[in-house]
Chain A
Amino acid sequence: MSMIALKEFKIRWGMAIDVDKCTGCGACMVACQAENNIAPVSDASDKRRALNWLVVYELSNGKAFPDHDLAYLPRPCQQCGTYPCASVCPVTATDKNEEGGIVSQIHPRCIGCRYCMAACPYHARYFNWQDPVWPRGLEKTITPDVSVRPRGVVEKCSFCHHRFMWAKDLARLENREPGRLREGDYLPACAESCPSGAIVFGDLHNPTHRVHQLAGSERAFRLLERLGTEPQVYYLSRRAWVRRQGDNYLPDEKKPLP
């Protein structure tokens, strides 16, 4: 059980990721790296160097051919309601204090102690063991939107928070209420890029948003829900074995599936 009381906001940005629609193509991962200035590495299997804010995991039902089934599960930061990471940060470099409920990560404030990485049950946080390096010329792909992180700090997915800021600016310019964005005004890069429309993004509190409806679906589940982290990322699957892999169960556990 989490030590932190659930932090509530008027808006709760959330995702509903349809695992059944994901082919594991990796478009979201590419879009995420390009959007958030994550440096390329020549050996991506070297886990000390390869950072990813979003990873697409391959799930298997564990059965041998021909009963085998597989699914792909994209994992951004879960933006937990009872954030285990921010509660252990000794310098408040990570916090959940903004309307929308996105867990912030302030890189220049981070001292690199990695407590948050130990606390995060989703492995959503990454440590810069080395300075990021863009081979000559490739630095031209660095965007103005997200600061480049030096070695020694932890980083993670921010739901492309800069796009939230843009959406609010555009709303202000068009004399709309920045606190009441329309569905689709703000989309993270992964949700925007998915060719299957597997990632639906919006305000979990707003009943007119699709993500609100999907989160209430009987197909919906969250990762490690029994830890009480209250993630803002929902997953959807028709397949019971996929839903069951969203959490840890004892082999003979009788608890009904989520």
Chain B
Amino acid sequence: MPRHSENKRFRAAGPGRQAKVFAGFFLGLALALCLGWRLFPALMYREIPQPVAFTHASHLELFDCADCHYLREDGSFSGIPGTEDCLQCHDTPRGDSRAEAEYIEKYATGEKKVPWLVHQKQPDNVFFSHAAHDIKSCQKMGCHPEWEEPEDLCGYCHPSVEALDQPAPYKENRLTGYSKSTMKMADCESCHANPDHRDLTAANNACFTCHK
């Protein structure tokens, strides 16, 4: 290809005209970044309030985490306590807060199940074992000295709620219906496929380790 024609075209563009292209480019870039980073995530999720204004903070004054969230006898995880568990104390109103009155009226009186929105709800094809993710086995290895309490490992996946007077904000993905904080496969793999873990921990990245 003749070199002079290229030069000619370059000259014809000129510095001023190039500026217009760049100006357009940066304008577009700025807009797109703004859209992609700020507007899109805001549009993609909607915030839904939890059905009951539950306060972890005041419950933790009386209980340990494991009083409500424990492993059952068969090794499965109890998850969120049912209404019958809550009724052990809340069969009559405790205190005179509006949330308490609402809870008693809506759920406690009819012993109805509270439709909690679960931050970490996993798809049906995922098998997650709470028994396997036990901090004790991590502490044995001594690799994560910063993990002292069981909650330190829980907090790796779950939003930290100990200090909250209100339920943690629940953001639902409009397309998938999952919570914004639901772990994706890549999050699981941050440990399961971590080369530092290989041959040291029981974690492995076989498909059936997590899928069912």
Per the CB under 8 Å rule, do A and B touch in the complex?
yes
Q: Which residues in A have some Cβ–Cβ distance to B below 8 Å?
A: 92, 95, 97-99, 102, 104, 106-109, 145-148, 158, 161-162, 165-166, 168-170, 172-173, 178-179
Closest to B207 in A: A104
For B204, the chain A residues whose CB sits under 8 A away are: 97-99
Chain B 8-37 interface mask (CB, 8 Å, partner A; 1/0): 000000000000000000000000000000
Interface contact A98-B207, CB-CB below 8 Å: yes
Interface contact B207-A106, CB-CB below 8 Å: yes
Query: With A and B bound together, what is the CA distance between A236 and B124 in angstroms?
Result: 37
Q: Which has the most chain A C-beta neighbours within 10 Å: B127, B205, B207, B209? A: B207
Interface contact A178-B76, CB-CB below 8 Å: no
Q: Which residues in B have some Cβ–Cβ distance to A below 8 Å?
A: 71, 73-76, 123-125, 127, 129, 131-132, 134, 202, 204-209, 211-212
For A165, the chain B residues whose CB sits under 8 A away are: 127, 129, 212
Q: Which has the most chain A C-beta neighbours within 10 Å: B76, B124, B132? A: B124
CB distance from A218 to the nearest CB of B (A): 34
Interface contact A95-B202, CB-CB below 8 Å: no
For A92, the chain B residues whose CB sits under 8 A away are: 207
Query: With A and B bound together, what is the CA distance between A146 and B131 in angstroms?
Result: 19
Interface contact B207-A170, CB-CB below 8 Å: no
Query: With A and B bound together, what is the CA distance between A166 and B71 in angstroms?
Result: 12
Interface contact A106-B134, CB-CB below 8 Å: no
- 5 smallest CB-CB distances across A and B, nearest first, come from A169-B75, A98-B206, A104-B208, A147-B125, A169-B131
For B211, the chain A residues whose CB sits under 8 A away are: 104, 106, 147
For A147, the chain B residues whose CB sits under 8 A away are: 123-125, 211-212
Say whether, besides A98-B207, A161-B212, A170 and B75 are in contact (CB < 8 Å). Answer: yes
Q: Which has the most chain B C-beta neighbours within 10 Å: A108, A148, A172, A179? A: A172
Say whether, besides A104-B211, A147-B124, A97 and B74 are in contact (CB < 8 Å). Answer: no
For A146, the chain B residues whose CB sits under 8 A away are: 212
Interface contact A172-B206, CB-CB below 8 Å: no
List 19 extra interface pairs beyond A97-B207, A169-B76, CB under 8 A: A92-B207, A97-B205, A97-B206, A98-B208, A99-B204, A104-B206, A104-B207, A104-B211, A109-B207, A145-B212, A147-B211, A147-B212, A162-B212, A165-B127, A165-B129, A166-B74, A172-B131, A178-B202, A179-B202
CB distance from A37 to the nearest CB of B (A): 10
Say whether, besides A98-B204, A178-B202, A169 and B125 are in contact (CB < 8 Å). Answer: no
CB distance from A174 to the nearest CB of B (A): 8
Q: Which has the most chain A C-beta neighbours within 10 Å: B75, B123, B204, B205? A: B75
Query: With A and B bound together, what is the CA distance between A148 and B183 in angstroms?
Result: 21
Interface contact B208-A158, CB-CB below 8 Å: yes
